[in-house]
Amino acid sequence: MEKLSNLIPADSLNLVNYSGTDLIDRLGKDIISNVVLSVLCGDNIRNLTEGLTQRRILLMNASLFVTYLKALSSYKNLSQNLSEIVTSEVRGKLSPEKKRYLLWFLGLTGKSVQNVIREKTQFERYISNLNKNLSEISTDIEEQYGGLEITATNEGIDYLLQWPDLLRCMLAIGAQTLTIRGSEKSMYGKLFEKFVLGSTLTILGFDYISRDNSRNTNIFWLSERLDKRESDATALLKPGAGIRFDIGFIGAGNTEVSLDKVSRFERVMERNGYKSNTITIILIDKIGDGSRIETMAKAIGGYIIQMSGTYWVHELAQTIKKAFPFYKNPLLSMSKEQSLEYLRKEMSNIDLSQFLTAPFDSVQIAAEPEAPYNSPD
């Protein structure tokens, strides 16, 4: 009898877990660059990436359903025995991708594994309750909606599905969808924060460097988040004049969260023997009605730029000029409309992959990276 894990389509396993570089390779640099350009022109990152999320969800949902169909040919009474089949396999040696995949058949995401079944006894109790609930729910549904039989044909083979089978698939697809939606939100946020910051600062005339580079003029580096007081990006116009940037694609109601973080940034930066006074610029999607963030930002000597504005990059250049009168950039002599064409031209010359520096690129953007599953003994 073939293992259930071996019935999973190989292509779908590649979608369970991947890195930032993998994303660029799969979608293509042009698509990613166009998304970044759209953000620089005021579009919402969530709207831009929703299509990508839907594609991953539906591809994974389809593969899960096909896996279940194939399993119908390999196991008797699959809907009744699926919990035990999955339990047996996840206790063995499996790749993290296959293990996550199989756990969806139990209605589990990475977080729920950690929160609901931390110990072997809890796992067994969960399985027992799951089987009981599914049996009772199946009976209730049949009483309410009547019996159901569906014939599905895949690769010339007919499969018969009844309510217990459909409920198993629905439960798994629900868990899978929740997992992917959660990971995609985090993934695109982290990934495009780097792309947008890196591209914006490059267009504003700063050169991207590693932190150990000895240059001190018109440079920037991205955060490695080794210290809570570290900004998302730091730019140095010259020794003595620096800017700390914080970016967040966060909802209008949560902008104070960003301000709380930047209020902890150190105002004086030391680099290559020079001390630089820094200002803070906060890039957020949109300021909500009644938000106190603008008033609070002024209190710490900071500036707020809303990325929902069509010309926010042009506004950012003007803000830097206001803080540092010696700052020069072609955007400063352009109209707002002219600035959009300049952004398009400059974006075509930027290699986004350079911003995927360690440690970010080494972090796997997985279904639930923060909550890996530990098999019960």
What is the C-alpha separation between 111 and 77, in angstroms, rounded? 29
Asked if residue 257 and residue 183 are part of one domain, the reply reads no
pLDDT at residue 314 tops 80: yes
What per-residue confidence (pLDDT) applies to 369?
34
pLDDT tens for 160-211 read 999 999 999 999 999 999 999 888 877 788 889 999 999 999 999 999 998 7
- Same domain assignment for residues 24 and 129: yes
For position 275, what pLDDT does the model report? 64
Domain boundary among the residues 190, 222, 247 is at: 190
Q: Which amino acid is at 350?
A: I
Residue pair 209/219 in contact (Cβ under 8 Å)? The answer is yes
Mean pLDDT, all residues of the chain? 84
- Residue reference for tokens 């929902």: 308
Whether residue 236 is contained in a domain is answered as yes
How many domains, the chain?
2
Write down the pLDDT at residue 17.
75
For residue range 260-281, what is the model confidence (pLDDT) as tens digits?
A: 555 555 555 666 556 667 888 9
Segment 83-111 mean pLDDT: 91
Place of tokens 């629905």: 170
Say if residue 83 is in the same domain as residue 216: no
Residue 283 pLDDT exceeds 80: yes
Q: What pLDDT sits at residue 190?
A: 82
Residue 323 lies in a domain: yes
Q: How far is CA 3 from CA 6, 75, 94, 328, in A?
A: 5, 10, 11, 64
Closest CA relative to residue 198, chosen from 71, 13, 357, 318:
357
* Domain coverage including residue 117: 4-190
Tell me which of 310, 328, 346 is where a domain ends. Answer: 328
- Model confidence at 253: pLDDT above 50: no
Tell me the mean pLDDT in the region 26-40: 89
What's the length of the chain? 377
3-state secondary structure of 115: helix
157 and 87 in a single domain? The answer is yes
